């Protein structure tokens, strides 16, 4: 069964569109694979962050990109937030945005 990827907002899509070419190319190849085989590709491509939040892990010669996502009924993947990593750890701000959007998508009290 095929999966469908949507974006939380146009700003999330634009953030990915603005990634450096090498990172964006890796993201495009990986999301094609996700749409065919589902989001559970495992390390080093995808990883669970707990509580229904996952990350797509991409890299290029220009650096490392991350896109946080969740899945919902009907084989739909929603990309909640995306950024280019500048340090080893996930920035708390970016993770907080993803958690907030995850609650909104699931219609939980924010």
Write the pLDDT tens digit of every residue in 6-58: 999 999 999 999 999 999 999 999 999 999 999 989 999 999 999 999 999 99
Residues 46, 54: contact at Cβ < 8 Å? Answer: yes
Residues present in the chain in total: 110
Domain regions of the chain by residue span: 4-75+84-105
Using alpha carbons only, give the angle 110, 106, 50 rounded to the nearest 5 degrees: 85
pTM of the model: 0.91
**d(C-alpha 27, C-alpha 39), whole Å:** 13
Alpha helices of 38-76 — where are they, by DSSP H? Answer: none
**d(C-alpha 79, C-alpha 71), whole Å:** 9
């Amino acid at each position: 069964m095929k999966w469908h990827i949507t974006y939380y907002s146009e700003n999330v899509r634009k953030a990915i569109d603005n990634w450096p070419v090498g990172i964006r190319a890796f993201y495009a190849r990986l999301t094609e694979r996700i749409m065919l085989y589902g989001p559970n590709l495992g390390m080093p491509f995808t990883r669970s962050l707990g509580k229904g939040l996952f990350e797509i892990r991409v890299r290029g010669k220009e650096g490392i990109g991350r896109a946080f996502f969740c899945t919902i009924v009907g084989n739909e993947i929603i990309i909640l937030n995306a950024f280019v990593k500048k340090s080893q750890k996930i920035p708390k701000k970016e993770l907080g945005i993803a958690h907030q959007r995850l609650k909104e998508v699931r219609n939980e009290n924010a």
